[in-house]
Amino acid sequence: MGEIKRTGKKEKKQRSRQERRTRRAYKIIAPFFAYIALWGILPLFYGLYLGLTEYNGLSEKPVFIGLKNYMDFFTNAAYMQLLWRQIWMGAICLFMNTILSFLLGLALNVPAKTRGIFRSGIYVPCIAATSITSAIFVVLLEPNGVMNTVLKRIGLTPVTWQYSQFWMVFWIMIYFVWKNIGPAAIIWLGGLQSIDASLYEAARMDGADMFQRIRYITIPGLRFVASYIILTGIIGAMQMFDVVMFISKGNPYGKTDILMYRLYRDGIVNFNMGMAGAESTVIGMITIVFSIIYFRIVLKKED
Amino acid sequence: MKRKLLAICMATALSLISLTGCGGSNENVPDTTRQETETSDTKETVKEEVPSAGKIHLTVPKVGYNQEQINTANAKEGGPTYEDKYYMTVTENMAKNLPDYEMEYVDWGWGETLDQKQRALFASGSAPDIVAGETFIPSYAAEGLLEPLPQEIVDLVNPSFLVYDDDDNPVAVAYKTSIFMIFYNKALLEQCGYSEDDIPETWDEWKAMSDDITAQGKGEFWGGGIPTFPNAGGALRATPFFRTNGTDFAVDGKINLDDEKLQEVLSFIREMNYNFPAGLGNGSDEFPMWDAFHEGTLAFVVQGSFEGSDAENAGMDWGVAPIPMNDAGIDGNCTVGSVYLAVPKAAANKEASFNVIKETLSLENEKVWLEGSYCPAIKEIIEDSSYYENDKVLMMEMQVIKDGTYSGLATFPKNDSSIWEIINQNVLARTTMTEDPVDVICSEAMAQIVPLQ
C-alpha cells in the first residue's frame, strides 16, 4: 500500500514537473506567437474584411458592401485576364527555373577546382537588390541600349523590345531565372550530395549508364528536395510582381500586367482597398489550391 | 527561476525589436529640438520629439527644407537649384516671420509616395497640419477632407491657382504652376534649313516640319512629337492638344473616349509618334527623351515652362512657342508642376497652418520661382510684367494665366487613378505602339472604364 502511495506521489511529482516544463515552454514561445499574430494573422483577417468593403483610405471607415468586390472581380474580363497571365507567366518561370537550376546543380556536383567560384557566382544575383539589377536590365533594353547596339554591330535590325509582349515576357523570364536560379541550384546540390555514393558505385558495377543513374538514383533521391523547390516555386510564382513592376511596368499597353502587380496598384496606388483585399484573397486561395494539388500528387506517388 | 528570467528577457527584447521595427526612416527627421529622455519603467534610453516650450509644432510637407535637405542642396554641383532656393528661402523666412512656430519640414516624396503617406495619416486619424500634392488634391477636396481657405489667402492669388470642394469653397492653393509649350532646338532646325520664322502654329505645319526633319535625320536625329509615357504623365502632356481641339478625356466627370474630336487628336498623336525613334516617346521612362533633346537629336519636345531653365543648364540653343493648334482650334492648356497646399479639417492647428501657407505666398518667397520660369500664384507678380519682361517663356506663360485658358488635369469622382491608368496604358500607349484602329482602342477602353465610374 505504502509502495503504491509512493509511486503515485512520484508520478504526480513527475506530472507536475512535466506540466511546469510545458508551461515554461509555452511562455518562451508565446512572444513569437504574439509576433506572428500581430504581423501575420491580424493583417490576414483585416485583408479578408477589406475585401468585403469599399474603402479609399480617405473616408473615415470602410463601407461594408458584401461580395460586390468578388462579383466585380469574377465578372470583369480584365481581372480574369490578369489572373490567367499571372498563372501562365508564373508557370513558365517556375518550369524554367526548376529545370535549369537542376541542371546547374548537377554541373556543380562534378568535382572541379573552380567549383567554389561558380557556386558563389550563381548565388550573387540573389543577393543583389532587385531594384538595382532590374534597372540595369531596363537600360540594356532601351531603344538605344546595349542590346540594340550589339544587334546593330552584328548587322541585325534593332528590336523595340517595349512594343512586344513576346519579348517583354521573354526578358521578364530571363531576369526571373537569372535572379532565382542560384538558391534553387544550391538546394539541388545539397540534395545531390546527400545521396549515398555507394548507390552510384553499385549501379555502375551493374552496367548502368549516366542517364540511367540519374533516372533511377538521382531523381528518386531528390524527391523531397524537388517537393520543396516546386512548392516554394509555386508560391513564389503566384507572388511574382516586383520583376514585372521594375522591368516592364505591365507594358506594352498592359500586355505583361499580372494580377499581383494590379493588386499592388489597386491597393497602394489607386487606393481601391476593397478590391485589393478581394484580389489578395482570391490569389491566396488559388495558391493554396495549387499547393494542395501538388501535395496530393506527391503523396499519391509515395503511396 | 533562471528560465523564467530568460523568458521575460526574451519577451522584452522581442517587444522592443518589433516596436523599433515600426519606426520611420530618417527622411522624416524634423528640425525640432531633440531631447534624450529616460523612461522610468524600462530604464531604456530613448529619443523623443519634445516641442520647445510655448511653441506651436507643425508638421508640413513641401513647404521648407530640414537641415539634411539644406545640406544636400548646398552640396550639389553648381549649388542649389531654383527649387532648392525657394524652399531654403521659405525656411529662413518662416524662422524670421513666424518665430512662435516650430516647423517640422518633412520629406514625404512626391506623387504616389506623398499621396500614400498622407492617406495613411488620414486613415490612422493623425492628419498632418498641411497636406501637399498635385493631381490627387482634388480627390481630397471631393471627399470633404479640407478646410476652406481664409479669404485673405484667396484674395492674394490668381483664382486659377485654387482647388474647390463640392460646395464650391476654395480649399487648396498652389504656390506655383506651369503650362505646356513646345520647345525646339534652334541649331537642329537651322541644320535642317529652318529659321525661327518657320516655327509651326498649326498641327499641319508642325507635322510637315517634324516629318521633314525626321526624314533628313536618316536615323541620326528626329523631329519629335507628343510624348505619351504610360507611366510618366502621358495623359498630362497630351491634354493641351485635346483641349485646343475643344475636347477632353472627361466631360462632367464622365469618360469621353467616344468623342470624334478626341479620336481625331489620338490619330494626330499617332502620326506624330513616327517622329520619335521607336520607344522613345512612349517608354516606361521619360528621361531618355529629355536627354535626346538636350543632346541635339530631337528637334521638338512638349514640356512645362521649366524646360527653359533645364535647356539653359544643358547649354543648348533653344526656343519656345505655344502649343500648335488644329485649324479650327481654340485656346486651351493644362497645368503641370503645380504644388497645392491645404489644411485638413482634422488638423490640430488650423489657424497656424493657414499662416504658414500665407507665408509661402509672400512676395519674397514667390519671386524665387521666376528664376525657374515657373509661374508664381500671387496676383502682385502675375499682374506686373516688370518682374518677368525679360523672360520669353514667362511672358508667354503669364499671358495664358491672365487669359485663364487653362486648368488642371480632368478628374473622375470615383476611381480616378484607376481610370487614368487605363487611359495612359490602354489608350495613349496602345495608340502609339500599335496600328489598332483608334475607335476600337477607345471603345475597348470605355468598356473597362464605365464600370469604374
Tell whether the model's pLDDT for residue B18 goes beyond 50: no
Nearest to A163 among B15, B278, B418 (CB): B278
Q: Give B277's contacts in chain A (Cβ within 8 Å).
A: 143-144
Q: Is residue A141 part of a domain?
A: yes
Question: B389-423, pLDDT tens digit by residue?
Answer: 888 888 888 888 888 777 778 888 778 888 888 99
Q: Give A56's contacts in chain B (Cβ within 8 Å).
A: 119, 143
Q: Give B417's contacts in chain A (Cβ within 8 Å).
A: 269-271
Nearest to B417 among A144, A161, A270 (CB): A270
Residue B425 DSSP class: I
My answer on whether A112 and A217 are in the same domain is yes
pLDDT at B40: 38
Alpha-helix runs per DSSP H in B274-348:
287-295, 307-313
Task: State the pLDDT confidence band at B438, using cuts at 50, 70 and 90.
Answer: very high
If you compute the radius of gyration of chain A from its CA atoms, what whole number of angstroms results?
Answer: 26
Supply the ipTM of this predicted assembly.
0.73
Contact B433 A252 (CB under 8 A): yes
Task: State the pLDDT confidence band at B3, using cuts at 50, 70 and 90.
Answer: low
Element holding B37 (H helix, E strand): strand B34-38
Domain B56-175+339-361 CATH class label: alpha beta
Nearest to B119 among A76, A78, A271 (CB): A271
Closest CA to A171 of B257, B98, B11, B284: B284
Tell whether the model's pLDDT for residue B176 goes beyond 60: yes
CA-CA-CA-CA torsion for B166, B170, B176, B180, nearest 10 degrees?
Answer: 40
Whether the CB-CB separation of A258 and A143 falls below 8 Å is answered with no
* Shortest Cα distance, chain B CAs vs residue A72, angstroms: 9
My answer on whether A174 and A93 are in the same domain is yes
**Averaged pLDDT for residues B363-379:** 91
Angle subtended by helix axes B260-273 and B234-244, to nearest 10: 120
My answer on whether A156 and A218 are in the same domain is yes
My answer on whether A77 and A181 are in the same domain is yes
Contact B284 A269 (CB under 8 A): no
Task: Find the closest chain A residue to B220 by CA distance.
Answer: A144
Q: Give A31's contacts in chain B (Cβ within 8 Å).
A: 10-11, 14-15
Beta pairing class for B101-106 and B56-61: parallel
Query: CA B157, CA B366: separation in Å to the nearest integer?
Result: 11
Contact A250 B425 (CB under 8 A): yes
What CATH number does residue A244 fall under? 1.10.3720.10
Q: Give A30's contacts in chain B (Cβ within 8 Å).
A: 11
**Domain assignment of residue A169, given as a range:** 68-302
Contact B7 A28 (CB under 8 A): yes
pLDDT at A143: 79
Q: Give A163's contacts in chain B (Cβ within 8 Å).
A: 278-279, 433-434
The residue among B218 and B41 whose pLDDT is bigger is B218
Query: CA A98, CA A236: separation in Å to the nearest integer?
Result: 12
Q: Give A272's contacts in chain B (Cβ within 8 Å).
A: 415, 418
My answer on whether A33 and A124 are in the same domain is no
My answer on whether A120 and A198 are in the same domain is yes
Contact B283 A162 (CB under 8 A): yes
* Shortest Cα distance, chain A CAs vs residue B318, angstroms: 24
pLDDT at A17: 85
Query: CA A76, CA A69: separation in Å to the nearest integer?
Result: 10
My answer on whether A26 and A107 are in the same domain is no
Tell whether the model's pLDDT for residue B21 goes beyond 90: no
My answer on whether A95 and A206 are in the same domain is yes
Query: CA B175, CA B169: separation in Å to the nearest integer?
Result: 18
Contact B279 A57 (CB under 8 A): no
Q: What's the number of domains chain A is made of?
A: 2
If you compute the radius of gyration of chain B from its CA atoms, what whole number of angstroms results?
Answer: 25
Mutate: best of B228, B291, B418, partner A, most A CBs <10 A: B418
Q: Is residue A62 part of a domain?
A: no
Question: B27-43, pLDDT tens digit by residue?
Answer: 333 333 333 333 334 33
Q: Give A266's contacts in chain B (Cβ within 8 Å).
A: 418
Contact A27 B288 (CB under 8 A): no
Nearest to A24 among B7, B119, B145 (CB): B7
- Interface membership of A163 toward B (CB under 8 Å): yes
Query: CA A233, CA A101: separation in Å to the nearest integer?
Result: 12
Residue B221 DSSP class: -
- Interface membership of A35 toward B (CB under 8 Å): yes
Q: Give A162's contacts in chain B (Cβ within 8 Å).
A: 279, 282-284, 433
Query: CA B362, CA B382: separation in Å to the nearest integer?
Result: 13
Pick the CATH number of B179-335+411-452 from 3.30.930.10, 3.20.20.70, 3.40.190.10, 1.10.10.10: 3.40.190.10
Query: Per CB distance under 8 Å, which residues of B are interface residues toward A?
Result: 3-4, 6-7, 10-11, 14-15, 18, 112, 115-116, 119-120, 122-123, 139-140, 143, 145, 230-231, 277-280, 282-285, 288, 415, 417-418, 421, 425-426, 429-430, 433-434, 448, 451
Query: CA B217, CA B221: separation in Å to the nearest integer?
Result: 5
Q: Is residue A35 part of a domain?
A: yes
Whether the CB-CB separation of B180 and B240 falls below 8 Å is answered with yes
Q: pLDDT tens track of chain A, all 303 residues? A: 566 667 777 777 777 888 889 999 999 999 998 998 888 889 899 999 999 999 887 777 889 999 999 999 999 888 999 999 999 999 999 999 999 999 999 888 888 777 788 888 888 888 888 888 888 888 888 877 888 889 989 988 888 888 888 999 999 999 999 998 999 999 999 998 888 889 988 999 988 888 888 888 888 888 888 888 998 898 888 888 888 999 888 888 888 999 999 999 888 888 889 999 999 999 999 999 988 888 888 777 665
Tell whether the model's pLDDT for residue B210 goes beyond 60: yes
Q: Give A252's contacts in chain B (Cβ within 8 Å).
A: 429-430, 433
Q: Which three cell numbers stand for residue A277?
A: 483585399
Q: Is residue A75 part of a domain?
A: yes
3-state SS class at B341: strand
My answer on whether A194 and A235 are in the same domain is yes
The residue among B320 and B38 whose pLDDT is bigger is B320
- Interface membership of A269 toward B (CB under 8 Å): yes
- A with B: how many residue pairs have Cβ under 8 Å apart? 103
Q: Phi, psi (5° rounding) for residue B448?
A: -80, -35
* Shortest Cα distance, chain A CAs vs residue B329, angstroms: 29
pLDDT at A111: 81
Q: Give A58's contacts in chain B (Cβ within 8 Å).
A: 119, 122-123, 139-140, 143, 145
Q: Give A147's contacts in chain B (Cβ within 8 Å).
A: none
Q: Give B119's contacts in chain A (Cβ within 8 Å).
A: 56-58, 271
pLDDT at A302: 62
My answer on whether A33 and A72 are in the same domain is no
Question: B178-209, pLDDT tens digit by residue?
Answer: 888 899 999 999 999 998 889 998 999 999 99
My answer on whether A6 and A128 are in the same domain is no
pLDDT at B369: 92
Element holding B181 (H helix, E strand): strand B176-185
* Shortest Cα distance, chain A CAs vs residue B297, angstroms: 12
Mutate: best of A21, A136, A271, partner B, most B CBs <10 A: A271
Q: Residues, chain A, total?
A: 303
pLDDT at B431: 94
Beta pairing class for B254-255 and A53-54: unpaired
pLDDT at B300: 95
Q: What is the mean pLDDT of chain B?
A: 84
Beta pairing class for B131-133 and B176-185: unpaired
Task: State the pLDDT confidence band at B45, using cuts at 50, 70 and 90.
Answer: very low
Mutate: best of A270, A273, A275, partner B, most B CBs <10 A: A270
Q: Residues, chain B, total?
A: 453
My answer on whether A235 and A153 are in the same domain is yes
Element holding A231 (H helix, E strand): helix A223-239
Whether the CB-CB separation of B309 and B82 falls below 8 Å is answered with yes
Task: Find the closest chain A residue to B7 by CA distance.
Answer: A28
Contact A253 B426 (CB under 8 A): yes
Tell whether the model's pLDDT for residue B246 goes beyond 70: yes
Contact B6 A28 (CB under 8 A): yes
pLDDT at B66: 92
Whether the CB-CB separation of B269 and B277 falls below 8 Å is answered with no
The residue among A130 and B153 whose pLDDT is bigger is B153
Query: CA B38, CA B149: separation in Å to the nearest integer?
Result: 42
Q: Is residue A58 part of a domain?
A: no
Tell whether the model's pLDDT for residue B24 goes beyond 60: no
pLDDT at B17: 46
- Interface membership of A57 toward B (CB under 8 Å): yes
Q: Is residue A63 part of a domain?
A: no
Q: Which three cell numbers stand for residue B413?
A: 469622382
Whether the CB-CB separation of B283 and A162 falls below 8 Å is answered with yes
CATH 3.40.190.10, chain B: domain bounds: 56-175+339-361, 179-335+411-452
